[in-house]
């Protein structure tokens, strides 16, 4: 392995197999900062090692005394007493060794606990953009395998460092007993030392390679064997080719694993060989000295015994540098993650939104909002992306996807976002819940810039139901309670009833305690969506964002969920990405989004009559989900112009409400607060459901 010092840190190349890795300067200092809280335990470890070393050096002295003072002088009593003492020391040595393992383990595990918690908390704070680029397998491997590696290497390093104490004491005693025999005993050490160094570094390089290969394997498994990946693979995949690729990866793991086993065994064998050869040498030379009367027999036995305790710690010392590098590399990989500044953070002086919960709905305003998705370099680590961005993409300026949006959503009203695919509708909703921050302009809730709000109050204020409702692999109860842990059983059941999912849940043998599979796959799409609706109902936010949450539903359950949604939207400010005619008809305001701009704004009838982009969308998209009478009159009414800076809300033009609807509360006086009448073609003025659902054949 090649280790070179560069201005930017240390570069390690672990041979042809191990990828080069750069350890950034300051890493060692930061590792020490992690160890510092455990300094009392480190001190205890040093003390225990000292006691253990004293036991190690005391035993051969007793053996010498047994032979020279007891056996040679025919003193049976002394032999027995000293033998008992040797036994007692053996027992004490076991205890100190156990204490050493416990203490070093406590330090290693304590540091890895701190690392785990810190890195989990850090990843929690990362913005959504980070997760859109990061490969889950690589991230999970960084958070688990790398932490384990760091802990193991740190524990070994501590044991080798404290082992130096033993080496010093043993060598001191050997030279005290016979400097000549000790020198002879150490003659072979340099011959073995270089192979040891080499083996230690190969071991380290292969462990690192193994870490990377495991990350690759775990990435493949995560990607292929989550439910959606497995489904894609079944429908489109080439199993034979994928198996061959996996086999290739597994073969590399096998090869590295075999080398690791061989090298660690080799290190052990070398140590045993050195001990055997040196013992032979000591007895060969020392035996002659005993015969010449220069050395006592007891001293010779003591020297041979000490030899047995010398090479273990020396081997550990030889691998200390490699272990230290492993510690640095593992920590550095985790520090790399910890050093990423979350792009979206709560301001230190953030204020809580006055009324995050249901009830008085707030106003939402977009003021001259422009937005570009962050560049990869701002949000992700190249080493956590499986397929890194091709040449230059990481540095390229991200294109703007929303341009100077200026509109308002009055309290308690429903705004539908419609527009072609890729127009920017989802992106707009992401800005409300601060999944992303605007590039310029401001998004306000009740006059407050969302960037000035506390995360907690913003989370409590905005409830989102996406098209692909995600459920944790947990019970239905836990999935629902995730939105509001303090909710009682009665509230959970009520939310389920309102979301028209209670009949299904109560028919399951385990009811609310039924575990839903990975990503909730044991439930149908519609059932999952109804659970997601129940989750939002339970959360009772004051703002509801729906990404056409009824898209998966059949007509019966859609009608049921539409009713539930009306309850959910009642007295709430809502932003709905609408793909359905029924939704846009009921909206107080429709924003037609195209290429990141508001092209048209108005009610369904106004926009239809204007004959612009909305009419085109209506003809190609919405009219498929139901029918409406053609626009009244000549169909050439002007669309409402895209909204200027004033927008609706205080001081701006009013959002149009129909059927007697009032801004600030859902119009129409109907239970769900959905706008009622005034619509051509059968809307029910002033109340009840928003007009009869119209079937494809045009009949009500």
Ligand X SMILES: Nc1ncnc2c1ncn2[C@@H]1O[C@H](COP(=O)(O)OP(=O)(O)OP(=O)(O)O)[C@@H](O)[C@H]1O
For the chain, the 3-state helix, strand and coil shares in percent, each to the nearest 5, are 55, 10, 30
Q: Which of residues 394-413 bind ligand X (CB under 6 A)?
A: 401
Site string for ligand X, 240-259 (x = CB under 6 A): --------------------
In whole angstroms, how close is the CB of 374 to ligand X at the nearest point? 8
Q: Which of residues 366-395 bind ligand X (CB under 6 A)?
A: 373
From CA 547, how far away is CA 568, in angstroms rounded?
Answer: 14
Residue 427 as a binder of ligand X (CB under 6 A): the answer is yes
Q: Which residues face 598 on adjacent strands?
A: 593
In whole angstroms, how close is the CB of 667 to ligand X at the nearest point? 26
* Residue 606 · residue 637 · CB < 8 Å: yes
Q: Which residue number, 211 or 417, has a Cβ lying nearer to ligand X?
A: 417
Phi–psi pair at 23, nearest 5 degrees: -95, 120
In whole angstroms, how close is the CB of 576 to ligand X at the nearest point? 12
From CA 228, how far away is CA 211, in angstroms rounded?
Answer: 27
Question: How buried is 378 (Cβ within 10 angstroms: 0-12 exposed, 13-18 middle, 19+ buried)?
Answer: middle
In whole angstroms, how close is the CB of 528 to ligand X at the nearest point? 18
Binding ligand X (rule: CB under 6 A), the pick from 388, 426, 442, 571 is 426
Q: Stretches 152-160, 162-170, 417-425, 522-530: which one binds ligand X (CB under 6 A)?
A: 417-425
From CA 311, how far away is CA 98, in angstroms rounded?
Answer: 20
In whole angstroms, how close is the CB of 450 to ligand X at the nearest point? 18
Q: For tokens 């429908």, name the residue.
A: 235
Cβ atoms < 10 Å from Cβ of 291: 10
Q: Stretches 91-99, 344-352, 414-422, 472-480: which one binds ligand X (CB under 6 A)?
A: 414-422
Q: Which of residues 315-354 bind ligand X (CB under 6 A)?
A: none
Tokens of 377: 């370099």
Binding ligand X (rule: CB under 6 A), the pick from 108, 200, 424, 520 is 424
* Residue 5 · residue 15 · CB < 8 Å: no
Q: Which residue number, 132 or 368, has a Cβ lying nearer to ligand X?
A: 132
DSSP characters over 320-369: HHHHHHHHHHHHHHHHHHHTSPPSS---TT-B--S--BSSSPPPEEEEEE
Q: Stretches 37-45, 285-293, 333-341, 415-423: which one binds ligand X (CB under 6 A)?
A: 415-423
In whole angstroms, how close is the CB of 144 to ligand X at the nearest point? 26
Q: Which residue number, 215 or 584, has a Cβ lying nearer to ligand X?
A: 584
Residue 425 as a binder of ligand X (CB under 6 A): the answer is yes
Q: Stretches 173-181, 224-232, 416-424, 607-615: which one binds ligand X (CB under 6 A)?
A: 416-424
Q: Which residue number, 264 or 426, has a Cβ lying nearer to ligand X?
A: 426
Measured between alpha carbons, how far is residue 52 from residues 101, 116, 309 in Å? 12, 32, 11
Tokens of 281: 């040498």
Q: Which residue number, 196 or 373, has a Cβ lying nearer to ligand X?
A: 373
In whole angstroms, how close is the CB of 372 to ligand X at the nearest point? 8
DSSP characters over 111-149: HHHHHHHHHHHHHHHS-HHHHHHS-HHHHHHHHTHHHHH
In whole angstroms, how close is the CB of 657 to ligand X at the nearest point? 25
Q: Which residue number, 233 or 551, has a Cβ lying nearer to ligand X?
A: 551
Measured between alpha carbons, how far is residue 393 from residues 384, 387, 399, 438, 522 in Å? 16, 12, 12, 21, 39
Q: Which residue number, 419 or 667, has a Cβ lying nearer to ligand X?
A: 419
In whole angstroms, how close is the CB of 550 to ligand X at the nearest point? 15
Binding ligand X (rule: CB under 6 A), the pick from 20, 26, 422, 447 is 422
* Residue 657 · residue 638 · CB < 8 Å: no
Binding ligand X (rule: CB under 6 A), the pick from 423, 453, 561, 575 is 423
Residue 613 as a binder of ligand X (CB under 6 A): the answer is no
Cβ atoms < 10 Å from Cβ of 180: 13
Contacts of 191 (CB under 8 A, 6+ apart): none
From CA 246, how far away is CA 294, in angstroms rounded?
Answer: 67
In whole angstroms, how close is the CB of 575 to ligand X at the nearest point? 12
In whole angstroms, how close is the CB of 430 to ligand X at the nearest point? 8
* Residue 578 · residue 418 · CB < 8 Å: yes
From CA 215, how far away is CA 71, in angstroms rounded?
Answer: 61
Q: Stretches 64-72, 418-426, 441-449, 566-574: which one binds ligand X (CB under 6 A)?
A: 418-426
Q: What is the number of helices (H) and of strands (E) in the chain?
A: 23, 13
The whole-angstrom distance between residue 393's C-alpha and the CA centroid of its chain comes to 24
From CA 181, how far away is CA 174, in angstroms rounded?
Answer: 8
Q: Which residue number, 116 or 403, has a Cβ lying nearer to ligand X?
A: 403
From CA 535, how far away is CA 501, in angstroms rounded?
Answer: 11
From CA 679, how far away is CA 587, in angstroms rounded?
Answer: 11
In whole angstroms, how close is the CB of 133 to ligand X at the nearest point? 8
Phi–psi pair at 483, nearest 5 degrees: -75, -30
Q: Which residue number, 425 or 637, has a Cβ lying nearer to ligand X?
A: 425
Q: Stretches 117-125, 138-146, 286-294, 424-432: which one binds ligand X (CB under 6 A)?
A: 424-432
Binding ligand X (rule: CB under 6 A), the pick from 6, 124, 397, 421 is 421
Q: Which residue number, 34 or 130, has a Cβ lying nearer to ligand X?
A: 130
* Three-class secondary structure of residue 487 per DSSP: coil
Question: How buried is 90 (Cβ within 10 angstroms: 0-12 exposed, 13-18 middle, 19+ buried)?
Answer: exposed
In whole angstroms, how close is the CB of 540 to ligand X at the nearest point? 26
Interface with ligand X (CB under 6 A), residue total: 11
Residue 439 as a binder of ligand X (CB under 6 A): the answer is no
Site string for ligand X, 534-573 (x = CB under 6 A): ----------------------------------------
In whole angstroms, how close is the CB of 207 to ligand X at the nearest point? 36
Contacts of 483 (CB under 8 A, 6+ apart): 463, 535, 536, 538, 539
Q: Which residue number, 217 or 340, has a Cβ lying nearer to ligand X?
A: 340
In whole angstroms, how close is the CB of 577 to ligand X at the nearest point? 6
Q: Which of residues 110-139 bind ligand X (CB under 6 A)?
A: 132
Site for ligand X, rule CB under 6 A: 132, 373, 401, 419, 421-427
């Amino acid at each position: 392995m090649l280790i070179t010092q560069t201005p930017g840190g240390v570069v390690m190349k672990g041979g042809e197999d191990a990828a080069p890795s750069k350890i950034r300067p300051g890493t060692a200092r930061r590792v020490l900062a992690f160890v510092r809280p455990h300094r009392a335990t480190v001190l205890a470890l040093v003390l225990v090692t000292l006691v253990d070393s004293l036991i190690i050096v005391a035993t051969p002295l007793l053996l010498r005394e047994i032979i020279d003072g007891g056996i040679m002088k025919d003193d049976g009593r002394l032999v027995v007493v000293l033998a008992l003492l040797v036994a007692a020391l053996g027992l004490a040595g076991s205890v100190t060794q156990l204490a050493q393992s416990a203490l070093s383990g406590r330090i290693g595990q304590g540091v890895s606990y701190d690392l785990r918690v810190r890195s989990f908390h850090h990843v929690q704070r990362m913005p959504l953009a980070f997760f859109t680029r990061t490969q889950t397998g690589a991230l999970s491997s960084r958070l688990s395998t790398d932490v384990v590696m760091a802990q193991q290497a740190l524990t070994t390093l501590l044991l080798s460092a404290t082992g130096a104490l033993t080496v010093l004491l043993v060598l001191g005693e050997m030279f005290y007993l016979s400097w000549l025999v000790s020198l002879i005993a150490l003659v072979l050490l340099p011959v073995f030392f270089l192979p040891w160094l080499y083996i230690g570094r190969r071991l380290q390089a292969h462990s690192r390679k193994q870490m990377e290969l495991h990350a690759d394997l775990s990435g493949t498994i995560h990607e292929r064997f989550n439910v959606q990946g497995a489904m894609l693979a079944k429908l489109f995949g080439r199993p034979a080719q994928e198996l061959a690729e996996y086999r290739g990866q597994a073969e590399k793991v096998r090869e590295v694993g075999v080398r690791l086993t061989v090298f660690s065994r080799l290190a052990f064998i070398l140590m045993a060989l050195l001990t055997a050869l040196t013992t032979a040498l000591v007895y060969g030379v020392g035996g002659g000295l005993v015969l010449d009367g220069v050395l006592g027999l007891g001293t010779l036995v003591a020297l041979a015994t000490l030899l047995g305790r010398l090479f273990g710690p020396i081997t550990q010392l030889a691998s200390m540098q490699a272990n230290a590098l492993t510690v640095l590399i593992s920590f550095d990989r985790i520090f790399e993650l910890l050093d990423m500044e979350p792009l979206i953070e709560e301001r230190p002086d953030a204020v809580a939104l006055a009324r995050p919960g249901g009830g008085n709905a707030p106003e939402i305003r977009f003021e001259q909002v422009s937005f570009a998705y962050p560049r990869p370099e701002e949000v992700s680590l190249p080493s956590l992306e499986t397929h890194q961005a091709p040449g230059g993409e990481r540095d390229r300026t991200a294109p703007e996807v929303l341009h100077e949006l200026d509109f308002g959503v009055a309290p308690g009203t429903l705004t539908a976002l419609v527009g072609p695919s890729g127009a920017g509708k989802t992106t707009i909703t992401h800005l409300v819940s601060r999944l992303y921050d605007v590039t310029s302009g401001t998004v306000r809730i009740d006059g407050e810039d969302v960037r000035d709000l506390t995360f907690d109050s913003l989370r409590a204020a905005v409830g989102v139901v996406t098209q692909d409702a995600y459920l944790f692999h947990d019970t239905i109860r836990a999935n629902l309670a995730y939105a509001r842990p303090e909710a009682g059983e009665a509230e959970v059941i009520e939310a389920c009833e309102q979301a028209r999912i209670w009949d299904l849940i109560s028919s399951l043998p385990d009811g609310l305690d039924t575990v839903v599979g990975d990503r909730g796959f044991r439930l149908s799409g519609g059932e999952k969506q109804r659970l997601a609706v129940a989750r939002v109902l339970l959360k009772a936010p004051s703002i509801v964002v729906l990404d056409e949450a009824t898209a998966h539903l059949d007509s019966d359950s859609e009608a049921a969920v539409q009713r539930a949604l009306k309850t959910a939207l009642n007295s709430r400010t809502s932003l709905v990405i609408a793909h359905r005619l029924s939704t846009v008809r009921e909206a107080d305001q429709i924003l037609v989004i195209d290429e990141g701009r508001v092209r048209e704004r108005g009610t369904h009838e106004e926009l239809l009559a204007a004959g612009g982009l909305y009419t085109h969308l209506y003809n190609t998209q919405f009219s498929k989900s139901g029918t409406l009478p053609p626009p009244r009159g000549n169909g050439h009414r002007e669309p409402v112009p895209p909204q200027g800076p004033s927008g609706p809300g205080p001081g701006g033009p009013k959002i149009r409400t129909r059927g007697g609807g009032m801004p600030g509360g859902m119009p129409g006086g109907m239970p769900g607060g959905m706008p009622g009448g005034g619509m051509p073609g059968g809307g029910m003025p002033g109340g009840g459901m928003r007009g009869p659902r119209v079937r494809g054949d045009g009949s009500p």
